[in-house]
Structures are given as C-alpha cells and as structure tokens.
Amino acid sequence: MNKIVICCLLLVLCPFELMAEPHCALFLDTRLLVMAHPLFSVFDSTSNRFKGTSSEPIEGGYQGVDEMVEQIKKLEDTLLMSSARLKEELKTVPLRQRVAVERKFLAEKKELGNKLENLKRRVFVARQVPILPGMTPHSAIVPQINDIMVAIRAVVKKLKNKYNTELVIDISSLMPYAGKVELTESLLTNKHKQILDKNASMPTQYLEWLHEADQYWAAKLGVDAAIIPYGALDTRLEAVKLMEEEVKGYKIWSW
C-alpha cells in the first residue's frame, strides 16, 4: 500500500476524531519547503551538484585543482599574518574605537576561516573521481541534502510544539498535477462502505478506485484544492515563513 493510499485512508477513517480538536492535525507541503531553501536556487541540473558548496565541480581538471590549492595556501598565509596586521592597525586607532575594530577583525577572520575549510573540503572531494579530475562524486551532495532535511525537521518540530500536536501530514503526494479526467464507471460506484468495513479486505480494485478518485479531484479542484478540509490546520504558508527564518544566513560561497 503506497503513501497516497495510506494518507487517503487516514483521512477517510478519522474525520470525526480530527473534528473533535480543530488543531490536532497539521498539513504542509514539503515541496514548498525545499523551494524556500537557498540550496534550491543553486542546484545545477547539468552536473546534479550544488553551486557554491563543496559538491560543486572544479573546472579545468588537474590545473583547476592546482590553482585552488594555491588559493588555499594564500588564504592560509593571510590568516597566519592577520593577528600581526591587527596589532599594527590598532596602533593608529583611538582607544574608544578599538572594540569595534577588534569585533570587525574577528568577524572577518571567522569568515575567512570558514571559506578556507570549505575550499579544503572542495579540493578533497574533487579528487575522489580519479578519471575525472575536478569532478565530485555523486555522494558529494549528501551534506547539502542533509542540510535541507535538518531545516525541514526543525520547521516541523516548531509547528508541532506551537500547536501541541504529533500529527503532521505532508500533502505533496496528495496534490499531483493532472489534466482533464472524466468520471469512469469505477468512480460512479460507491465503495466507501466496503473501505470503512474493518473486516473487509482491500483488493486491487479498491486501490485503483482510490487512485482514480485522487486523479479526478486533483484535476477537478486544481492546485488550490482543500485537500484536508476538516479536522486539520493548513500551515503551508506558515511553514514556508518558518523555513525562511530557519535558513536565514545560510552560506552559499562565491569562490
């Protein structure tokens, strides 16, 4: 029994229980959450990698990798000499302005340190495909995928805590795009009673009926359909706003 059927059965079998507590169930669309993440906009469909991350391939083969190694060495030298430069700069800075200058220095040093670590990681990953120097393996996108999943889980957790619920339904699979669908003989047959019968089995014809019904209403009502009209709260837009807050400041590097 696939995910769509399970969700459909949940909505058929539990409406009265859900109506007893208006906010005991939430629904959201994980597709919207993925689109709200900064990584979505930098995904390169040609290489199937994320630009501005360690998964991005290095152009130029061996030469490109060697040039990035030189960039890393220069950055290491810059960081090594940064404290000495700060010391010289503070000699000409009034006492009242020194705190601000030191804070700015620490922020810039941290940024350079993060860039250095990401460049090192990028060079390391770009050497994992021997026959294609500069190309990263398929597994290189795992850290970015994990970042997206961590953010989605954080949003779901915030919603569950806010509305004091354990039931959060992802409706992404319940809203497929469908063209014009006509009523079939199967759809005109009422099978609700058989489905609600706890002692009845679930033969293939009922699963096909649920699938046809899903396609029919998707085409009939469109993307704005109230997939769960009773007993649940629509948190799709709220979830997107929470995602935007969650990933605020997420760093996409411009190498």
Quickly state the pLDDT bin for 117 (edges 50, 70, 90).
very high
Give percent above pLDDT 90 in the chain.
55
Q: Is the pLDDT of residue 8 over 50?
A: no
User: Rounded to an integer, what distance in angstroms lies between the CA atom of residue 51 and that of residue 255?
Assistant: 10
Q: Is the pLDDT of residue 225 over 80?
A: no
Give 68-85 pLDDT, tens digit per residue: 999 999 999 999 999 898
Quickly state the pLDDT bin for 189 (edges 50, 70, 90).
confident
User: Rounded to an integer, what distance in angstroms lies between the CA atom of residue 12 and that of residue 237?
Assistant: 25
Q: Are 37 and 243 in contact (CB under 8 A)?
A: yes
- Poorest-confidence range of 18-22, 74-78, 226-230, 236-240? 18-22
Q: Is the pLDDT of residue 12 over 50?
A: no
Quickly state the pLDDT bin for 59 (edges 50, 70, 90).
very high
Q: Is the pLDDT of residue 237 over 90?
A: yes
Quickly state the pLDDT bin for 15 (edges 50, 70, 90).
very low
Residue 31: what pLDDT?
A: 93
Q: Is this model's pTM higher than 0.85 or not?
A: no
Average pLDDT, rounded, for the chain = 84
Q: Is the pLDDT of residue 10 over 80?
A: no
Mean pLDDT along residues 137-143? 95
Q: Is the pLDDT of residue 58 over 70?
A: yes
Residue whose pair of structure tokens reads 């807050």 in the numeric block = 245
Distance of alpha carbon 187 from the chain centroid: 36
Residue bearing the bigger pLDDT, 56 or 187: 56
Give 38-50 pLDDT, tens digit per residue: 999 999 999 999 9
Residue 222: what pLDDT?
A: 72
